Amino acid sequence: MKKKYQVLALLLVVILLWYSPGISMGVSLEELQQAQEEVEEKINRYKNIIQTTQKEITSVSSEMASLDQRIRAREIEIEALETTIAEKMDLIASLEEDIVMAELGFIDRQKTMQARLRAIYENKDVSFLDVMVDATDMTDFLVRFELLTRLAGGDINMLDDLDAQRKELESMKLSLVADQMALQDTKGELESSQASLSSAKNSKESLQEKLLSEKALAQKALDEEEQSNKEIEKLIKDYIASQANKGVYEGGKFSWPTPGNSRITSQYGWRIHPITKTKSMHTGIDIAAPRNAAIVAVAGGKVIYAAWYGAYGNCTIIDHGGGLTSMYGHQNKLGVKEGEIVLKGDQIGYVGTTGLSTGNHLHFEVRLQGNHTTPWPYLNGEV
Ligand SMILES: [Zn+2]
């Protein structure tokens, strides 16, 4: 931001100098050019930041989408488990009823048997006591006792069956309870996995917010620098216009700026820019030529600019009089200096690809009173 104020202060100084007659512009132009290079450097830096940040934003977005999918999958698994757990609980409840019924049946049987045993002991006709009293010794007594007891054997077996049935129901219930507990454990694990996925998603969200605000800041800085660049461009353009001869152009048909190289790769007019991919005005024509091929003056005149000129790279501007100038951009090397007088056909530079360019070529531009115009009428001798 400090640099920004330096540039603004410089612009103010330049503007003041501009409107003060008699003060040399030489130093100010150099400063303008330096300021322009600095601004362009910053523009590139901010564009890089924006591009990198946008890539990160895209990748974080897709990570968030995949986390969302996994969270949804966990939800479905948890819901399925809850259904299974509910089914198990229903089964356990119905088993508990069965167990209660079995216990009641057992108690009922037990009572019946006890009643029957009591009936045997208390029967007057077949006196239990008589049978027992007739026993000759202790062994005989035990044999007789067992015989009598066996009369109730059917009931005892039935009681054993009922007890076994009840025990089986109990063990079924225990295994269901164990199943249910295992399912609850699994559900707990799924829930904690889901919670950690959610917290991962939350941290991605805050990262995303941070990246978006970084990108917005870089965009704001870029807009400011581009505005500064436009202001500097205008000051340089005004400087060049102020240098132009006010006489009349009498040069006739232009000579071809790159002798031996005539293939046009981009015409004057609206086009999609090959680097920025945006619709923009192409202010000159592009002529394909090898690196260091000769560039010549299309007509005689005075070199009013021979230096780096932003997107044009190394650039020469020749004033031909009558407000007519020709401009030669992207040069690998300049061949003339500001203030030199050149004749039509003199070599003034070397083809290159400096500035905003995708390969060796000459960007040739014609300006009338500082405004770009199609160069063809001049190249064809129709003016
Ligand atoms: Zn061009």
> Ligand 1 centre from 286 Cα, in Å?
5
The 10s digit of each residue's pLDDT in 162-203 is: 888 888 988 988 998 998 899 999 999 999 999 999 999 999
What span, in angstroms and rounded, lies between the C-alpha atoms of 164 and 158?
10
Bridging pattern class, strands 301-308 and 324-331: unpaired
The 10s digit of each residue's pLDDT in 278-293 is: 788 899 999 999 999 9
Q: Class assignment of domain 264-379?
A: mainly beta
> Ligand 1 centre from 316 Cα, in Å?
14
The 10s digit of each residue's pLDDT in 59-75 is: 999 999 999 999 999 99
Question: Which pTM was predicted?
Answer: 0.54
**Most confident region among 73-77, 188-192, 216-220, 362-366 by mean pLDDT:** 362-366
> Ligand 1 centre from 339 Cα, in Å?
25
> Ligand 1 centre from 326 Cα, in Å?
13
> Ligand 1 centre from 365 Cα, in Å?
8
Min mean pLDDT across 20-34, 119-133, 317-331 is at: 20-34
> Ligand 1 centre from 372 Cα, in Å?
12
3-state helix, strand, coil in the chain (%, to 5): 60, 15, 25
Q: Kindly indicate the confidence band of residue 329, based on its pLDDT and cuts at 50, 70 and 90.
A: very high
Q: What is the pLDDT of residue 6?
A: 61
Tokens standing for 100?
């209660």
What is the domain partition of the chain in residue ranges? 1-243, 264-379
Give residues with Cβ within 8 angstroms of 286, minimum separation 6.
Answer: 264, 265, 266, 361, 362, 363, 364
Q: What is the pLDDT of residue 360?
A: 97
Say how far residue 249 (Cα) sits from the centre of its chain.
57
Q: Class assignment of domain 1-243?
A: mainly alpha
Give residues with Cβ within 8 angstroms of 23, minimum separation 6.
Answer: 17
Neighbours of ion ligand 1 (CB under 5 A): 286, 363
Residue corresponding to tokens 């190394």: 314
Q: Kindly indicate the confidence band of residue 295, based on its pLDDT and cuts at 50, 70 and 90.
A: very high
